[in-house]
Structure 1
Amino acid sequence: MLFTLQSADHPNSIDLKIGPQRSFRRKLFRQFRQQGLAEPVTCLGSRYDESTRRAAGMRLRGDSDNAASRNKDGDLVISPVAHWSDDDIWEAVSLYAGGARPGYSDFEEMRRIYAHSVGTSCAVVADAILDGGGGRRQGKCGARLGCHVCQMAEDKSLANMVAYGDRYAYAAGLQKLNRFIRATRYDWSRRHWIGRTIRGGYVRVMPDTYHPSMLRALTRYMFQLDFDEQRRAASVGEQPKFQLLLLDMMIAVDAMQSLNGVAKPFAAWADLRDIQVRGIRYDVPDVPDIHQSAMPIARYLHVGSEWDDSAPDADWTGLRDPMREALTEGSACQSSIIFAADGRAVLDLQTAQQFDVDAEAAQLIAEFEVDRLLDMHDADGGPGSVTAGYRWYAHYGCLTLSHAQKVEHDEIARRTAFKDRLGLTLSYDLKDVLARSVPLEDLPAAARAVWGGLSSEPAQLLLC
């Protein structure tokens, strides 16, 4: 029986940890089946002794240290240390470190990180502090490391490590970014106020996801942190400790921000040029904390019954490209068209299990296409063209979508193009939008009926 190792789930890391882990595990397991290997078992580090909540969840699942069981995904899992105490864990670490037990590691790095995350030189003392010993309990998530943008709790571990010594100086910028996000969470001026759903001819106007200007700022800060770390590492002859925006991730961000109309096409490449070529710095600022306040009351803006159906060229405001289709008509490389359930023609892009960026295409873009992308960014195509960046990546063959995303992304592109022509994407005068919107009680009866049951729902504050 083949075993894989997976850490226990944490409720605040679905997108950044659990989702990618689950996707990778499924891909790995498919490979095992294709190779005719025995069904794998995933080893969990969950322990009944960790917390009452963890123990309750483990009992509900039937977690065991001596028999594999099926989880909710149907995979076999086992928890070898399910009944171990904290003392058992540290005793085992000492035995492995001293060579008394055979193991794959001496756990030296693990002990160092544990100790320094609390500002001590001893991992066991650090663990006692994390558990509340000596009256210095660090709080929830105190022992979790590497979650540099997490806002579940104040990242005292990273702060302690940065303060401990020069070894962790590279992480100072990451800590500063975390503090900036924390300080601005309730700054409604940094939020995008224009809704994405039409009901009764209206969209809701209230703080939701980050405003395009805030997203642009965060992207720039991450590029700057990457650049500074690359220079630091080069100066001491070592590999960078981190890179927040790898090439494929940068292209994915650039494409999706274009699709959703929150950045000009190829804005990421322009920001990278500013830092690497023009010497412009985008340092994370120190800002005062904005205290939590009540969510502003929603208002409603009339936009029409459906996104973009009022446009004379509505058939072409999605992902289709009339020039490309005209030039390739009748040829072997003609762009194929599929039809959505409502009969709308959409571009038949290449698909896979999930959204992805083709590594080879990304490298070709970085080597041969950057100057052209910068020219297109600087030219600014005007209202309605904000989705051009996404369409370029898609036509270049750089993006792979899930099957459902072909229609979904076409719908998003039409919505974005419509909002862009109305001046409701990159930059808009919020005071003007609020002046043109109306409160719930002033909506027409039909619109008030569909929005009335939703008006009390809090907006879901997202970071993207």
Structure 2
Amino acid sequence: MTVQAHTNIEDKAEKVIDRIKGLILKGHPLAVACSFGKDSSVVLVLALEAVKRLKAEGQHIPTVYVTHSNTGIETPSMDYYTQVQIETLREYIEQQELPVEVVEVEPLLSSTFMYTVIGKGKLPRFVNSGSRDCSVDWKVLPQQRALKRIVAETEGQYKEELVSLVGTRFDESADRARRMAERGDAADSLTRDGQGVLSCACIADWAMTDVWALLMACDSKRSAGGLFETFVDSFDWTLQLYKDANEGVCAIITGDGGNKAACGARFGCAFCTPAGASDKSLSAMIESDPQYEYLRPVNAFRDYLIATQWDMSKRNWVGRRVSKAGYAQIGPDGYSPAFRRELLSYLITMDLDEQDRAEEHTAKLIAGEIERTPANERLCDPQFEYVTPVMLAAIDFAWSLENAFQDAFVAYGLYADIKRGRRHYPSADYVAAERPQPLPAKRFYKVDAFTNGIDTDGLRDPWLEVAAKGFRDDGITYMSVNAPDLDRRRNVVPFIEAQAMEVDATEALLFLDWYLDPEIQVATAQHSARAGACFMLERGVIRVGRGKMYEMDYAARRGQYWEQMVYDRNCMNRIELAQQLINGGETISEAEHKALLQIADKPEEGPNMDLFGGINEPIIIATDAA
């Protein structure tokens, strides 16, 4: 691919390289936040060039870290591309003997799409959402945690603070320019991010044409060897991905006086709901080349999330939190258990269909029915697996903890059912739900601490407690946690703590293999959801975040409370329960609830007796309103 760069791109590049060299010479260790998109790739190329030049000069170079965050639901084509880029970068670093370290990070399990949306029912961010906390949880925070760890590990080793090099540019969008201006970002200055880490937007003043000019100039196939020799022979693959995501139109920079159309395609997560009614980049890739046909069900799943945004029948109508007045909200909130099960069935089907596609593709390649090209060889492998054994365990545990279904291991049962051949697909006849006008009013129901007339076990195991008091000699015992809402300690099943909630990958794989035995499925069919959660904790499949066992026990008690109400009132599900509470006059309005909150927040007044038995002005006696 022949592309002539702008005549001034070398000058711009040299200015940034000098800036990076200056930071290194001052003693700053550097971190390059790299997604391997066009902008961060430019920063990486220039940072590597600065390091190579300083090494050739014999200068001392503090370690340069390249951080990359994988959300776990990346667009498959981009995920494959970034993994190849990372491996190529590692090989280049080793060959050149550069003081550069690649750090791959991922979100905490408790903030992943699979656990929060499919497991717990949290709504994904939509185009009209007030925030984009998904990008913060899945991209920003993991890299900030990595930088925090790096800073802690290198404390005292370097003269200056770590500086994070980022590829943000004023030219990207008006919103980006505004936020950069508010932070004080500039190519030649340092600013502090929300975590206090110094950052430098070293290409802040570059235009998109500058970005592509630099990348296209790094082409080792040129007679002159390209502007810079770097970790890849060329960025043709990068350009092709952007071209495919931009309906086949791309930024071919033709030189002075020529057309300077720029490719501004964006790559988000595979299920990027903030993209709006359609993910134009993903759709364009699918239509641009048959090799992306495997992405069609991924895009269909994303579109289904968009279509069901305002379908109130797919929402959970009972609240998770108790107010200071002792009330829980009644009304449409996150996704209902039934809809989460529906979504999981589509995801599992998608994964298994992709495995079948890869096997069929391999057979055709071996038989000579399709051409042996790099793309076709790559397509012999499944291009994605979203419901991994780890994620399946996390989802099943979340459902059991919530008592979303009466039985244990519902997610595992669904997986086994689909694996036996019962595939599930979003209905092609589903008509996108329109936003209700007005939205259902919020109502509130008195639950106290989810103890209002209903006994719950939470994560207790009464049988284990009895056994531990004299009927067992195998060393197994129960544990206890402090329960602030009950003002006492509560017994719970044995559990393993970790720094943050995690799934033991080996145990998860063994558990899935064990459960797929039909006899095991029959044997566990009558076990309760609570028993399923307790079993996964005792076995060590789920490891609890440090100090978080109380929250899990509370969630279990809350789920059991609502499920017991469904049973006691002869309702089909929690939506029907909510309607019964509302229609039966057992709830209060939002205005009435606010009035109760004001009373709950008001401190008690008590008389202050003076030494002579008289009553002075009242003093305030603070009380715990919770």
The verdict on a shared fold, with TM-score over 0.5 as the criterion, is yes
Consecutive unaligned residues of structure 2, counting only runs of 5 or more, are: 1-28, 41-68, 70-131, 254-258, 363-379, 600-626
Q: 1:80 Cα deviation (Å)?
A: 2.5
Q: 1:322 Cα deviation (Å)?
A: 2.2
- CA RMSD, Structure 1 to Structure 2 (Å): 3.4
Instruction: Flag the 1:151–1:376 CA change in 2: closer, same or farther, 3 A.
Output: farther
Could you tell me whether the CA contact under 8 Å between 1:195 and 1:205 is conserved in 2?
A: yes
Report the Cα distance in structure 1 between the residues aligned to 2:214 and 2:595, rounded to whole angstroms: 63
Report the Cα distance in structure 2 between the residues aligned to 1:212 and 1:311, rounded to whole angstroms: 22
SS of the counterpart of 1:401?
strand
Report the Cα distance in structure 2 between the residues aligned to 1:127 and 1:196, rounded to whole angstroms: 53
Q: 1:181 Cα deviation (Å)?
A: 1.1
Report the Cα distance in structure 2 between the residues aligned to 1:201 and 1:436, rounded to whole angstroms: 19
Alignment-derived partner of residue 368 in structure 1: 514
Report the Cα distance in structure 1 between the residues aligned to 2:177 and 2:530, rounded to whole angstroms: 48
Consecutive unaligned residues of structure 1, counting only runs of 5 or more, are: 132-141, 454-464
Q: Which of 23, 27, 33 is the matching residue for 1:5? A: 33
Alignment-derived partner of residue 440 in structure 1: 588
Q: 1:360 Cα deviation (Å)?
A: 2.3
Alignment-derived partner of residue 322 in structure 1: 462
| Cα-to-partner distance string for 1:103-123 (whole Å, 9 max, x where unaligned) | 223222211111111211534
| Cα-to-partner distance string for 1:218-274 (whole Å, 9 max, x where unaligned) | 000000011111111222232211111111111111111221222442111111111
Could you tell me whether the CA contact under 8 Å between 1:162 and 1:172 is conserved in 2?
A: yes
Q: Which amino acid letter does the alignment assign opposite residue 400 of structure 2?
A: S
Q: Which amino acid letter does the alignment assign opposite residue 588 of structure 2?
A: L
Q: Which of 333, 338, 352 is the matching residue for 2:481? A: 338
Q: Which amino acid letter does the alignment assign opposite residue 387 of structure 2?
A: L
Matching of residue 83 in structure 1 with residue 205 in structure 2? yes
| Cα-to-partner distance string for 1:68-89 (whole Å, 9 max, x where unaligned) | 5432212232223222111210
Could you tell me whether the CA contact under 8 Å between 1:194 and 1:206 is conserved in 2?
A: yes
Instruction: Flag the 1:232–1:417 CA change in 2: closer, same or farther, 3 A.
Output: same
Alignment-derived partner of residue 250 in structure 1: 392
Q: Which amino acid letter does the alignment assign opposite residue 436 of structure 1?
A: G
Could you tell me whether the CA contact under 8 Å between 1:386 and 1:420 is conserved in 2?
A: no
Matching of residue 108 in structure 1 with residue 236 in structure 2? yes
Q: Which of 269, 273, 281 is the matching residue for 1:150? A: 273
Could you tell me whether the CA contact under 8 Å between 1:206 and 1:297 is conserved in 2?
A: yes
Instruction: Flag the 1:234–1:116 CA change in 2: closer, same or farther, 3 A.
Output: same
SS of the counterpart of 1:82?
coil
Report the Cα distance in structure 1 between the residues aligned to 2:246 and 2:361, rounded to whole angstroms: 27
Matching of residue 259 in structure 1 with residue 416 in structure 2? no
Alignment-derived partner of residue 541 in structure 2: 398
Matching of residue 226 in structure 1 with residue 226 in structure 2? no
Alignment-derived partner of residue 215 in structure 1: 340
Report the Cα distance in structure 1 between the residues aligned to 2:585 and 2:144, rounded to whole angstroms: 43
Could you tell me whether the CA contact under 8 Å between 2:445 and 2:587 is conserved in 1?
A: no
Could you tell me whether the CA contact under 8 Å between 1:308 and 1:417 is conserved in 2?
A: no
Report the Cα distance in structure 1 between the residues aligned to 2:450 and 2:348, rounded to whole angstroms: 34
Instruction: Flag the 1:36–1:326 CA change in 2: closer, same or farther, 3 A.
Output: farther
Q: Which amino acid letter does the alignment assign opposite residue 162 of structure 1?
A: I
| Cα-to-partner distance string for 1:277-327 (whole Å, 9 max, x where unaligned) | 2x101012221111122211223444x422136445x4xx12121223333
Alignment of 1:99-248 (within 5 A): 99-105=226-232, 106-120=234-248, 122-124=250-252, 128=261, 143-153=266-276, 154-199=278-323, 200=325, 202-237=327-362, 238-248=380-390
Q: Which amino acid letter does the alignment assign opposite residue 85 of structure 1?
A: A
Alignment-derived partner of residue 137 in structure 1: none
Which segment drifts farther, 118-127 or 416-425?
118-127
Instruction: Flag the 1:242–1:127 CA change in 2: closer, same or farther, 3 A.
Output: farther
Alignment-derived partner of residue 498 in structure 2: 352
Q: Which of 418, 421, 425 is the matching residue for 2:561? A: 418
Q: Which amino acid letter does the alignment assign opposite residue 234 of structure 1?
A: E
Q: 1:34 Cα deviation (Å)?
A: 8.9
Instruction: Flag the 1:295–1:76 CA change in 2: closer, same or farther, 3 A.
Output: same
Alignment-derived partner of residue 461 in structure 1: none
TM-score, normalised via structure 2 length: 0.62
Q: Which amino acid letter does the alignment assign opposite residue 345 of structure 1?
A: R
Q: Which of 172, 177, 180 is the matching residue for 1:58? A: 180
Q: Which amino acid letter does the alignment assign opposite residue 273 of structure 1?
A: A
Could you tell me whether the CA contact under 8 Å between 2:250 and 2:262 is conserved in 1?
A: no
Instruction: Flag the 1:152–1:308 CA change in 2: closer, same or farther, 3 A.
Output: farther
Report the Cα distance in structure 2 between the residues aligned to 1:215 and 1:37, rounded to whole angstroms: 49
Report the Cα distance in structure 2 between the residues aligned to 1:35 and 1:4, rounded to whole angstroms: 21
Could you tell me whether the CA contact under 8 Å between 1:258 and 1:389 is conserved in 2?
A: yes
SS of the counterpart of 2:165?
strand
Could you tell me whether the CA contact under 8 Å between 1:339 and 1:345 is conserved in 2?
A: yes
Alignment-derived partner of residue 423 in structure 2: 281
Instruction: Flag the 1:33–1:377 CA change in 2: closer, same or farther, 3 A.
Output: farther
Q: How many residues align?
A: 432
Report the Cα distance in structure 2 between the residues aligned to 1:260 and 1:395, rounded to whole angstroms: 18
Report the Cα distance in structure 1 between the residues aligned to 2:201 and 2:326, rounded to whole angstroms: 53
